[in-house]
Structure 1
Amino acid sequence: MKPAYEHVEFGDQCSVRVYHRRLPRIPFEWHRHPEYELTLTMNSHGKRYIGDTVTRYEADDLVLVPPDLPHTWASNRSIDAKEPQVAIVVWFDGEWARRLADCCPEYAPLRKLLRRAACGLAFDAAAGAAMRARLDALLAEAPRTRLAATLEILCALAEAPGTPLASPSAFGARESGPSGYEPERLNRVLAMIDAQFAQPLRLADLCSAAGLSERTLARQFAQHIGESVGRYLTRVRLGHACRLLADTSLPVSVIATRSGFASVAHFNRQFKAAKGTTPVEWRGQYAGERATMEAAPRLTERSPSLAPRTARQRSNKRPRRAGPA
Structure 2
Amino acid sequence: MKAAFEHVDFGRDCSVRVYHRRLPRIPFEWHNHPEYELTLTMNSQGKRYIGDSVATYGMDDLVLVPPNLPHTWASNRSIDAAHPQVAIVVWFDGAWVRRLADVCPEYNGLCDLLRRAACGLAFEDGAGTRMREHLDRLLSDKPRERLQAALDVLDLLSALPATPLASPSAFDARTGTPTGHESDQINRVLALIETQFAHPLRLSALAKASGLSERSLTRHFTQHLGESVGRYVTRVRIGHACRMLTDTQAPISVIATRSGFANVANFNRQFKAAKDVTPVEFRQQFAGARRAEQQMSPMLTERSPSLQRLRNKGDGKRMSRPARAGRQSE
Query: Which range, TM-score by smaller chain?
Result: 0.7 to 0.9
Contact 1:116–1:226 (CA under 8 A) maintained in structure 2: no
Offset, 1:113: 1.1
Contact 1:4–1:300 (CA under 8 A) maintained in structure 2: no
- Equivalences for 1:1-325 in 2 at 5 Å? 1-174=1-174, 177-180=177-180, 182-214=182-214, 217-218=217-218, 221-222=221-222, 224-246=224-246, 247-252=248-253, 254-292=254-292, 302-303=306-307, 307-309=321-323, 322=327
Against the structure 1 CA distance between its residues 280 and 43, is the aligned structure 2 distance closer, same or farther, given a 3 Å change threshold?
same
TM-score by length of 2: 0.83
Counterpart residue identity of residue 281, structure 2: E
Contact 1:30–1:299 (CA under 8 A) maintained in structure 2: no
Against the structure 1 CA distance between its residues 10 and 269, is the aligned structure 2 distance closer, same or farther, given a 3 Å change threshold?
same
Against the structure 1 CA distance between its residues 36 and 307, is the aligned structure 2 distance closer, same or farther, given a 3 Å change threshold?
closer
Contact 1:8–1:306 (CA under 8 A) maintained in structure 2: yes
Residue aligning to 2:314: none
Q: Deviations over 1:61-114 (max 9, x none)?
A: 111111011111121211111111110000000002122233433212112111
Counterpart residue identity of residue 63, structure 2: V
Aligned Cα root-mean-square deviation (Å): 3.0
Contact 1:35–1:93 (CA under 8 A) maintained in structure 2: yes
Contact 1:29–1:298 (CA under 8 A) maintained in structure 2: no
Against the structure 1 CA distance between its residues 300 and 193, is the aligned structure 2 distance closer, same or farther, given a 3 Å change threshold?
farther
Moved more, 265-274 or 50-59: 265-274
Counterpart residue identity of residue 185, structure 2: R
- Where does structure 2 lack aligned partners over 5 or more consecutive residues? 309-318
| CA distance in structure 1 between the partners assigned to 2:61 and 2:75 by the alignment | 12
Contact 2:271–2:279 (CA under 8 A) maintained in structure 1: yes
Q: Deviations over 1:180-235 (max 9, x none)?
A: 55444333222111111122212232222122345654565456544433222111
Higher strand share: 2
Against the structure 1 CA distance between its residues 54 and 35, is the aligned structure 2 distance closer, same or farther, given a 3 Å change threshold?
same
Percentage of matched positions with identical amino acids: 65
DSSP-derived class of the 2:204 partner:
helix
- Where does structure 1 lack aligned partners over 5 or more consecutive residues? none
| CA distance in structure 2 between the partners assigned to 1:222 and 1:106 by the alignment | 29
Against the structure 1 CA distance between its residues 226 and 107, is the aligned structure 2 distance closer, same or farther, given a 3 Å change threshold?
farther
Contact 1:182–1:224 (CA under 8 A) maintained in structure 2: yes
